[in-house]
Amino acid sequence: MVTQDSTEKFRGMKQRGEKITALTAYDYPTARLLDESGIDIILVGDSLGMVVLGYQDTTRVTLEEMLHHTRAVARSVKQALLVADMPIHTYETPAQAVETAKRFVDVGAQAVKLEGGVSHVEKIEAITQAGIPFMAHIGMLPQHVREEGGYKVKGRTHSEAEALLSDARAVEKAGAFSVVLEIVVADIAKQITHAVDIPTIGIGSGEHCDGQILVTHDLIGLFPWFTPKFVSPQARVADEIRNAARAFIERTRGSGTAPSGG
C-alpha cells in the first residue's frame, strides 16, 4: 500500500541539509543497477520518449508506454522511491488525474509526478487526497516544449520569478512531498528552496536545490546525439557499445574460413 509516510524522509533530509539524489530509469537492468548504487529516487520519466523510443519530445508518449516501462522498473527496485511521470493528456481533470495515478500505483509506482503549479492545484490535491504521494514539477515543462518553441530557462524576469515562487508554494500547500525545478535561474531556484519546506530537486537549476535529478542516459553518455548544456557525462557508454559491436563484427568476419574446393 502506498502511503505518504514513504516520502517523509525527504523532508527530514532537507531539514538536515542532506542532498537528495534522483536518476531516471526505464528498464529492469538500469533500475536495478541504480537501486543497488544507493540512489534515493528513481523516476520513470516521460523522457523515455526521446532516449528510449526515439520521439522528438515527450508529447507523443502514451500512458500505455509509461505503464509498460514503470512495470519493468518496479520489478527491480527494492530501496529507492519509485516515481512515475504522468504523460501529457492523462490529467486533464482531477478525476482523470486520480485514475491515471492509480494505474501507476497498480503497476508498482510509489509516487507520481505531473507538470504544472498553480494551474494544476485541483489535480494535485485530488491525487494527494487519494493517498498517493505526489512529486511536483515546475519551471521548464517539457510537455509544453512545442508551444514554447524550445527548452528555455525560466525565472529570468521578475514576473517569471514571482510566478515560480507562487507555483512552489501552491504545490506544497496541495500536498506535494517535493518539487522538481527544471532549468530555473540558479538564484531563483535558491530563493524557492528557502521559501518552501518541501525539498526542491533541480535539473539544470544550479547547486542550491535540496537535491539533483538527471536523465541517466545523459549522465552516462548513452544518448550521444544530444547532451544538455548543464550535463557533464560521467561515462561514455555509447562509445563502449560501438567499440564492442565493432570488435564483434571484426572478430566474426575474421574467423571465417574460405570454402574448400570440390
- Is the pLDDT assigned to residue 259 strictly greater than 70? no
Give the C-alpha separation, 83 to 199, whole Å: 15
- Write down the pLDDT at residue 124: 98
- Write down the pLDDT at residue 4: 61
174-186: per-residue pLDDT in tens?
999 999 999 999 9
CB 123 within 8 A of CB 93: yes
126-172: per-residue pLDDT in tens?
999 999 999 999 999 999 988 777 788 999 999 999 999 999 999 99
Domain ranges of the chain: 4-237
Of the candidates 25, 20, 21, the residue with the CA atom closest to the CA atom of residue 217: 25
Helix 28-37 × helix 63-74 angle, to 10°: 50
CB 126 within 8 A of CB 97: yes
Of the candidates 129, 154, 258, 261, the residue with the CA atom closest to the CA atom of residue 204: 154
Percentage of the chain modeled with pLDDT above 90 = 88
Match domain 4-237 to its CATH number in 3.20.20.60, 3.40.1390.30, 3.30.1360.70, 3.40.50.2000: 3.20.20.60
Catalytically annotated residues: 182
- The whole-model pTM stands at 0.93
Average pLDDT, the chain: 94
- Write down the pLDDT at residue 1: 55
